[in-house]
Structure 1
Amino acid sequence: MNSQKSWIVCCFLNFLIASIMGLLMRYMHLFPLNLNYSFILHAHSHIAMLGWAYLMIYVLIVRFFIPKVKREKPFYNRLFWLTEFSVVGMMIAFPIQGYALFSIVFSTMHIILSYVFCLRIWRDSSEEKTEAQKLLFVGISCMVFSTFGVWCLGPALNMLGKQSPFYQIAIQFFLHFQFNGWFLFAVLALFLKQFEGKIDKRDFKIFFTLLITATLLTFAFPGSWYLKNGLLSWMNAFGVILQMIAFVYCCKMLKPQISIFKCNLDIPAKAVYTLAICSLFFKIAIQLLVLIPDLNEVSHQIRNLIIGFIHLTTLGIITGFLFGILIQNNLISGKSSFVRLGIKSFILGYVMTEFLLLLQGIFFYFEKGMISYYYYESIFLMSIFIITGLILILLSLFKIKKQGLIN
C-alpha cells in the first residue's frame, strides 16, 4: 500500500470511529450505559474534526497544491503519521478522562503540528498566486487564528471559570474560525482548483473579499450569546447578507463552466457535490432565518438544532466537497459498486438524521414535545446508514491493488 492510499484509508478509519462514537451516544439515549456521555462527545467531535476533516484536507492540499518533487520527500509522510498519532492519543484519552492531562497533551501536540504544516505549505506551494491558492492561504491563516481561542482557555478557566463569557467566547472563536474559516475556505480552494484558469478574476475578487468580510463579521453571532450588545446583532446581520451575496457571485463566476464540469462527473461525484452545494445554501438560509430576533434567541438553546447545524456543516458541506474531490480525481473509484452503494447509504443516513434533528428542534421550539415515542430509535437506525456507507467505501479502498487507481 503506497503512502497516499494509506493516508486516505487512515482518514476514513478515523471518520468511521468518530461515527461509531456518534452512534454510541444515540444508543445511550435508548439504553443507558456505564459510560460518561460528555467524554464520548469530546472524543467524537475531536476525531471528526481533526482525524477526518483536518487530515483529509491535509492529504488533498499536499496532492493538489504541492509540486510532485516536494510532496514525494519524506517530510509530509512523517508529519501525517505524527499528526495521526496525536489523533489516536485523543481517541484513547478523551473517552477515559475527558478534558484532562493526556487529552490536553495530545490536543496541544495536534495544534503544534498544524503550525508546522501551515509553515511548510507556505514555503512549498507554488509562487504563482492563483484564485484557489488565495482561498487556501486564507483558510490556513484562519486555522492559525482559530487556535488563539484555545490558548485563551487556560487563563480564562483559572481566572474566571468555565461559565464566564470570556471562556465560552474563546471556545466559540476556535470553532467559528475552524468551521467557517479553515475548513470552508480549504474545501472551496480544493473545489476551485478544478476550474483553474477558467474563472473571471473580477467576480472572484468580489466573492473573495465579501467572504472574508462575512467570516469576520459573523463571529458576532456566537459572541452575542454571551455579550448582550445590539451592535453584535447588526454586525452578524451584515455579515450574513454579505455571505449570501458572496455565494451569488460564486455561482455567477462558475456558471459558464458548470455544464462542462458536470459532463465529466460520474453519478457518485454528482451526488456528493449536489449534497455539498445544497447543504451550503441551506446553511445560508438558516443563518438568514436566525436574524429574526425570536429565532436568534432560541437558536443556541435547542440542542437538536445545534447538532443539526453542526452536522450540516461537517457532514453536508465539508464531507460532501471532500467526497466529490476524491471521486472526481479517482482517489476513490466512482465506478466501484461498493462506493456507489456506500455513497447512497451515507447520503440517506445524513439526510434522514438531519430531517429528524430539524423536525424535533421545530417541535421543541413550538413546545410540542417529542415527535413520537420512536424518535431516538429512528435517529439511531438512520445513523447506521452513515456507518454502513463508510464501511462500504473503506472496503472499496482495500480492494484497490498496489498499482490500481491511486497513484
Structure 2
Amino acid sequence: MKLLSGMGSYKSWIICCFFNFLIASLMGLLMRYLYLFPLNVNYSFLLHAHSHVAMLGWAYLMIYVLIVRFYLPKEKREKPIYNQLFWITEFAVIGMMISFPIQGYALFSIVFSTMHILLSYVFCWQVWKDSFEDKTSDHKLLLTAVLFMVFSTFGVWCLGPAVSMLGKQSAFYQIAIQFFLHFQFNGWFLFAVLALFLKQFEDKIDKKAFKIFFILLIVATFLTVAFPVSWYLENNLLSWINTVGVVLQLAAFVYFYKMLKPQIVWFKVNLDSTTKMVYGLALCSLFLKICIQLLVLIPNLGEVSHQIRSFIIGFIHLTTLGVITGFLFGVLIQNKLLSYQSYLLRTGIKCFILGYIATEVLLFLQGGFLYFGKGALLGYYGWVFGTSILIVVGLSLITVSIIKTKNTYFQ
C-alpha cells in the first residue's frame, strides 16, 4: 500500500492536522466566550479538551507528518505502518475531542490519552529504526526529541500511583504533570521543530557551534524542570538549579545564532515573504520565551509567574502558537506543503499572526495590571474574545486553502 492509500500526497494528513488545530482554537474561543456569557458548560472539562487536542492533535501530529516527510527514506516512508499509525492516532485524538468536554478526566478520556501515548511509542520506535543511519546535525536533534518524547511520558505513568496514594492535591501529582509538560514542550516539541528548521539549511551549518549548542540545550532542558518543581517543593537548591539551566539555555541560543549566522543571507534569498514572516514569528517568540525565563529568575516575579493566570496562558501560547506553530508553518510553506501562492492562505496566516500577537499583548498586559495591583484591564474579556476570533478565522482560511489546492503541491 502506498503512502496515504495511493494518493501519493500528504494532503489528507495535513488537512487532518489543521482540522484538529481549528477545533482546539474553537474550544479556546468558547472558553473566552464563557467569561462574557456564562453557559451550562464545564470550563475545566473544556480546558482539558482544548489542551489535549492542541498538543496531541496539532503539534504532535504535524511533527509526525514532517518527520515522515523529511527524515525517512522514500522506501521507508511508504511502509503501510505510517499511514495506519497516523489514522489510529487521529482516532485517539477524536476520542479525546469528544470525551474530555463531556466527562473531563474519566474512563474514556483516560483510555484515549493512554492509547495516544502507546501509539507514540510505536512511532518513536519506527522513526528510530528507519532513520538511524542519518548522521546530520539536525538528525541528532531529532533523535534527542524522540527520546524526550518517551522520557516525558514517565510523568503520566506516575499520575495513577500519585492519585491512589496521595490524592490529586498532592505535590507528587502536580510535579508529575509538570514533568510531562516540561519535557513535552521544552524537550520533544522544541527539539523536533528546531531539527526540522535546521534541516532546511541542508547541513551547511557550523558543526563546532552546533555541538556546543546541542550539549548546552540538553543540559539546560534537564535543569530548568527545577522551576515548575519549585512551585510545589520549597527548596532553595531548586532555584539555583533553574538559574544555571536558564543561563545555559541563553548560552545555547547564542551558539545557535553563531551556528546559523554565516548561512542566514543564503537562507533568506530562497524564501518568499510569507515564509520569512512565519519564521520571523517563531524566532521572535523563541527570543521572548528565553527573555521571560530570565526575568522569572527575579524571586518576586518567579513567585507570581504561576499565580497570575494570564501570565501562564500567555507563556503557554507563546511557546505553542509562537515558537512551535511558527516553525511548523515555516517548514510547511518553504517546502510547498502549503501553497504560498494562495491568497486564502496568505490572508489566513496574517489573520492568525495578528490574532496571536493581539491576544499575547492583552494577556501579558492583564497580568501586568494584576501584578501591580491595578485590577482588571478595562473591557479585557471582550477584547481577548474579539482578538481570538482572528485566530479561528485565520485557521479556517488556511484549512480551506489546503482543501482547494491541487494535489501537486503535496508531492
Match of 1:377 in 2: 382
Match of 2:409 in 1: 405
Matched, 1:134 2:149: no
Q: Secondary structure in 1 aligned to 2:307?
A: coil
On the 8 A contact 2:138/2:203 being kept in 1, the answer is: no
Kindly provide the CA deviation profile for residues 273-323 of structure 1, in whole angstroms up to 9, marking residues without a partner as x.
Answer: 000000000000000000000001101000000000000000000000000
On the 8 A contact 2:279/2:330 being kept in 1, the answer is: yes
Give the gaps of 5 or more residues in structure 2.
1-6
**Shift in Å at residue 169 of structure 1?**
0.2
**Shift in Å at residue 128 of structure 1?**
2.7
Match of 2:399 in 1: 394
Would the alpha carbon gap of residues 3 and 97 (structure 1) be closer, same or farther in structure 2, given more than 3 Å must change?
Answer: farther
- Within 5 A, what are the aligned runs for 1:351-362? 351-362=357-368
On the 8 A contact 1:220/1:236 being kept in 2, the answer is: yes
Match of 2:4 in 1: none
TM-score (norm 1): 0.99
For 2:173 and 2:13, the matched residues in 1 are separated by 35
Q: Secondary structure in 2 aligned to 1:196?
A: coil
| Aligned mate of 1:243, from 249, 265, 287 | 249
For 2:288 and 2:362, the matched residues in 1 are separated by 16
For 2:203 and 2:315, the matched residues in 1 are separated by 34
For 1:2 and 1:319, the matched residues in 2 are separated by 25
Structure 1 residue runs of 4+, over 6 Å off?
Answer: none
Matched, 1:177 2:176: no
Q: Secondary structure in 2 aligned to 1:244?
A: helix
Matched, 1:83 2:89: yes
On the 8 A contact 1:207/1:247 being kept in 2, the answer is: yes
On the 8 A contact 1:131/1:196 being kept in 2, the answer is: no
On the 8 A contact 1:302/1:364 being kept in 2, the answer is: yes
**Shift in Å at residue 339 of structure 1?**
1.0
For 1:196 and 1:236, the matched residues in 2 are separated by 34
Matched, 1:368 2:369: no
On the 8 A contact 2:162/2:173 being kept in 1, the answer is: yes
How many residue pairs align between the two structures?
405
- Provide the alpha-carbon RMSD of the alignment: 0.8
For 2:143 and 2:193, the matched residues in 1 are separated by 12
**Shift in Å at residue 260 of structure 1?**
1.1
On the 8 A contact 1:191/1:325 being kept in 2, the answer is: yes
Query: What is the one-letter code of the residue matched to 1:98?
Result: G
For 1:388 and 1:262, the matched residues in 2 are separated by 29
**Shift in Å at residue 200 of structure 1?**
1.2
**Shift in Å at residue 389 of structure 1?**
0.7
Q: Secondary structure in 1 aligned to 2:340?
A: coil
**Shift in Å at residue 197 of structure 1?**
2.7
**Shift in Å at residue 401 of structure 1?**
2.0
On the 8 A contact 2:344/2:397 being kept in 1, the answer is: yes
Give the gaps of 5 or more residues in structure 1.
none
Kindly provide the CA deviation profile for residues 343-363 of structure 1, in whole angstroms up to 9, marking residues without a partner as x.
Answer: 110000000000000000000
Kindly provide the CA deviation profile for residues 225-246 of structure 1, in whole angstroms up to 9, marking residues without a partner as x.
Answer: 0111111000000100100010
Matched, 1:232 2:238: yes
Matched, 1:277 2:283: yes
| Aligned mate of 2:50, from 44, 49, 62 | 44
Match of 1:35 in 2: 41
On the 8 A contact 1:207/1:250 being kept in 2, the answer is: yes
**Shift in Å at residue 399 of structure 1?**
1.1
